[in-house]
Amino acid sequence: MTENSPFTTTAHERRSLSQENRFRLLFLFMAVVLVLPVLGILSVLVLRGSPGISLDFLLEDPRNGMKEGGIYPALIGTLWLTSCALAVALPLGVSAAIYLTEYARDNWFTRLINLAIINLAGVPSIVHALFGVGAFVHFLQFGHSILAASCTLAVMTLPVVIIATRESLQAVPRAFRDACWSLGATRWQTIWRVVLPNSGSGILTGIILVVSRTVGETAPIMFTGAAFYMQYTPESIFDQTMALSLHLYNVSTQVNDVPKHLPFSVALTLIGVVLTMNAAAIFLRMKLRGRKKW
């Protein structure tokens, strides 16, 4: 090919390709740097915690001041707290997102609401804990219970649900709404029959983020409903309960002479609960994505 051929790579193109390759390597390096700590943490937990994982460990109650036995009350309590928090946060968060996206006008009031949502997302968890004590434990007189702890967790995770749902609703093409309205459908019929079914995958993304944060929180439940030590599982939302995150803190710092593998086994179980719940939500999200109409 001659030097004057129009298909010859120019010096400018070679510099651009070289720069592109350098950026590709840089981004690859950054991705590896992010993944390596996660792999390292999981490796340590599996190596040091897996010897203590067994069916008895999962199904037995703690004994001898939590130095022996299993984590069954804490495991069940974590499921209680997460389920109740989702039951409170999802309806409120999705409803708020629908109002802000589909009904509210762009004025000073809605801008103030958006600012409040952003600020609420940045409030430390210990502040949410103190709010939960004042609002739910004392003012609403829920007492130290699963209900008070779950409401506190729900308030803490509301911004995540609202933001994820809003982005999902806004991703639905405007043409879908116009087509429904032109056929005589009301705004609510359009939202219920068209918009929400096509935004379900984004809402499930919010659920994944909520579950990941709710399961691992300690301060909000420590002040509002989680117990240091219990030998029974809760029977209603007005009972106290143990939780895996608080139990991990206790056996790591508050209980003396625990087996060396115990904190790592509890942490590994906690990660397993999070991954299991997230896997179920991701599976549902993939199913819903396959039903999208665009």
- What are the structure tokens assigned to 187, written together? 């705004």
DSSP class of residue 9 equals P
In a domain, residue 194? The reply is: yes
pLDDT at residue 171, rounded to an integer = 87
Going residue by residue through the chain (294 aa), what tens digit of pLDDT does each one get?
A: 455 556 677 777 778 888 888 989 999 999 999 899 989 999 999 999 998 898 889 998 888 888 888 899 999 999 999 999 999 999 999 999 999 998 988 888 888 988 888 888 888 899 999 999 999 999 999 999 999 999 999 999 999 999 989 988 988 888 888 888 888 888 899 999 888 888 887 888 888 888 888 888 888 999 998 888 887 788 899 999 999 999 999 998 888 888 888 999 999 999 999 888 888 888 877 777 766 655
pLDDT at residue 208, rounded to an integer = 83
CATH number of the domain encompassing residue 204: 1.10.3720.10
The sign one gets for the Cα dihedral 32, 163, 109, 86 is negative
In a domain, residue 27? The reply is: no
In a domain, residue 28? The reply is: no
Q: Region of 75 please: left (phi>0), alpha (psi -120 to 50) or beta.
A: alpha
Q: CA-CA distance, 282 to 211, in Å (whole number)? A: 12
State how many domains the chain has.
Answer: 1
Question: Domain range for residue 278?
Answer: 72-289
In a domain, residue 17? The reply is: no
The sign one gets for the Cα dihedral 195, 196, 198, 201 is positive
In a domain, residue 198? The reply is: yes
